[in-house]
Amino acid sequence: MIISPARRLQQVEEYYFARKLRQIRQMNEEGKDVINLGIGSPDLSPSTESITTLSEVAQQANAHGYQPYRGLPDLRQAITVWSNQTFGITLDAEQEVMPLMGSKEGITHVSLAFLNPGDEVMVPSLGYPAYSSVARMAEAEVRNYPLVPGSWLPDFEKMAQLNTDKVKLLWCNYPHMPTGTAATAEVFKKLVAFGRERNILICHDNPYALVLNRDKPLSILSVPGAKEVAIELHSLSKSHNMAGWRVGWIAGGGDYLNEIIKIKSNVDSGMFKAVQLAAVRALQNSEEWHQQRNEEYQKRQAITFKLAKTLDCQTDPEQQGMFIWAQIPERERSAESFSERVLQNHRVFITPGHIFGSEGNRYLRFSLCVSQPRLQEAAERISSH
C-alpha cells in the first residue's frame, strides 16, 4: 500500500460478521453446508402490498430522479401516523421526522453531527458494536456504562457516580440487543432525567419494538419533555422484513434534526422514490400481518430454546426481539471457543457474545432468522453427536 490509511482506522476494526461470513462462505464452498444462526437478517418477505407498490412506482417515468433529503412528505406523514398508533406519541411530520437509509446510517449521522475529537460517548457495557465503532470514527472517546447483570437494564446507581463532564451522547437500545430485555417506561423516564441533569443527548435505538413484544411497544419519546434531550432511531428492517431495502428514520426535536440533516445532505442524494412509497404502504400493514410474523418467530423461538438446552445453555423465556441470548455452561472456557467448536463439529454457527461487550463472554446469541426446518436440522446435528 502506497497511501497510508487515516489514523481513525487504527481505532476501528473490520466488522466481526464480515470476517466470520468469509469463513462460513469458504466452508460452504467446501461442501460443509453451515447453518448460520448468527445474522439477524429476516428471511421472511415484506407484505405483498409493499412489494406491489415498489414495482408499480418503479415503472413510473418520473420515479427515478433525486428525492428530497428529508424524505417524501408522504413517508414522513406515514411515520407520524404509525408512531401515534404504535406508541401514542405525536410528531411533527415537517420538523420531527427524518427518513434514513436504515437506522445504522443514523448512528453515523448523529455521531458526526454532535461529536468533536475528544468528546465522550456513553455506550452500554453490552450492546450493538456500531455505537462504539462509529464514535471512534468520529474521534470521540467511548465510555461504557454499566448494566445490571441478568436484567441488563442500566445500573443508574453506578451511573450517578460517573464523571460525565465530557460526555455528549448516550446510546441505549430497548428491547435490548443482544439480550432481548424488554423496555420499561420507568427506565425511559430515568434515562431522560439523566440526560437533562447531565446535559447529554440520549440516543435510543428502537428497531425491535414489534418483534415478539408481549406488551405494548414503548418509545422513549413518550416521556414528557423527552424531545428536549432525546432522539430515537427506527427501522423497517426487523419489524417489516425489509432489511435489504434500507429504510428507517430518526425522530426527535426539530433543532436536533436540523443539525443532523447537515451531515446527511452531504452524504446521500435522497432515497429511491419507489422504496419510500413502498415503505409508506408497509407502515400500513395490518395487525394481523404483524401477528402472523410474530407467530412464526414464536415457533422458531421454541425450537431454538430446545437447541440451546441441548448445548446446556440457560435462557430467559421472557426475551423479546429476534434473538435468543443464552448463558454457556460453566465448563466452557469462553463463548468464542464454544462457538468455534460448535461450528467445526456440527457445522452450525452461533454468535459468541463477547463481540457485544466483555460481559457477553459467557453467552451465545442465536438468530431466529432461519426457517423452522433448518433450525430443527441444527438441533438434530448437535444432539446426534
101: which 3 cell numbers?
437509509
List the one residue out of 79, 64, 68, 66 whose CA is nearest residue 281: 79
Q: Where are the alpha helices (DSSP H) in 174-331?
A: 185-198, 236-239, 254-264, 273-282, 287-310
Is the model's pLDDT at 13 over the cut of 60?
no
What's residue 49's pLDDT? 97
Q: What average pLDDT does the structure give for the chain?
A: 93
What's residue 213's pLDDT? 86
What's residue 11's pLDDT? 61
pLDDT, average across residues 32-46: 92
Is the model's pLDDT at 29 over the cut of 80?
yes
Is the model's pLDDT at 15 over the cut of 70?
no
Rg (CA), the chain: 21
Q: Which fold, 7-45+287-383?
A: Aspartate Aminotransferase, domain 1 (3.90.1150)
Per residue in 255-271, pLDDT (tens digit) is 999 999 999 999 988 99
Per residue in 157-173, pLDDT (tens digit) is 999 999 999 999 999 99
15: which 3 cell numbers?
466488522
Domain 48-282: which CATH number of 3.40.50.1820, 3.40.50.300, 3.40.640.10, 3.90.220.20: 3.40.640.10
CA distance 368 to 188: 27
pLDDT, average across residues 308-315: 94
List the one residue out of 323, 318, 379 whose CA is nearest residue 353: 323
What's residue 156's pLDDT? 96
Percent of the chain with pLDDT over 70: 97
pLDDT-derived band at 358, boundaries 50, 70, 90? confident
| 150 vs 154, residue with greater confidence | 154
Choice among 27-41, 215-229, 362-376 with the minimum mean pLDDT: 27-41
What's residue 232's pLDDT? 98
Q: Where are the domains of the chain?
A: 7-45+287-383, 48-282
What's residue 102's pLDDT? 86
pLDDT, average across residues 165-184: 95
pLDDT, average across residues 11-24: 72
**Could you tell me the CA-to-CA distances from 62 to 66, 269, 278 in Å, in that order?**
10, 16, 16
> How many C-beta atoms lie closer than 10 Å to residue 77's C-beta?
16
pLDDT-derived band at 10, boundaries 50, 70, 90? low
> How many C-beta atoms lie closer than 10 Å to residue 211's C-beta?
22
**b (16+ CB within 10 A) / e for 80-113:** bebbeebbebebebeebbbbbbbbbbbbbbbbbb
Q: What letter represents residue 105's amino acid?
A: E
CB 82, CB 334: distance < 8 Å: no
Is the model's pLDDT at 9 over the cut of 90?
no
Length of the chain in residues, anyone? Answer: 385
What's residue 81's pLDDT? 98
Is the model's pLDDT at 12 over the cut of 70?
no
- Four-residue CA torsion sign, 263, 269, 275, 278: positive
What's residue 291's pLDDT? 95
Is the model's pLDDT at 39 over the cut of 70?
yes
Q: Where are the alpha helices (DSSP H) in 199-286?
A: 236-239, 254-264, 273-282
pLDDT-derived band at 1, boundaries 50, 70, 90? low
In the Cβ-directed half-sphere of 91, how many Cα atoms lie within 13 Å? 36
What's residue 40's pLDDT? 86
Is the model's pLDDT at 150 over the cut of 90?
no
Per residue in 64-110, pLDDT (tens digit) is 999 999 999 999 999 999 999 999 999 999 999 999 998 889 999 99
Strands 363-367 and 351-352, sheet pairing: antiparallel
Model's pTM, two decimal places?
A: 0.93
Q: SS3 for 363?
A: strand
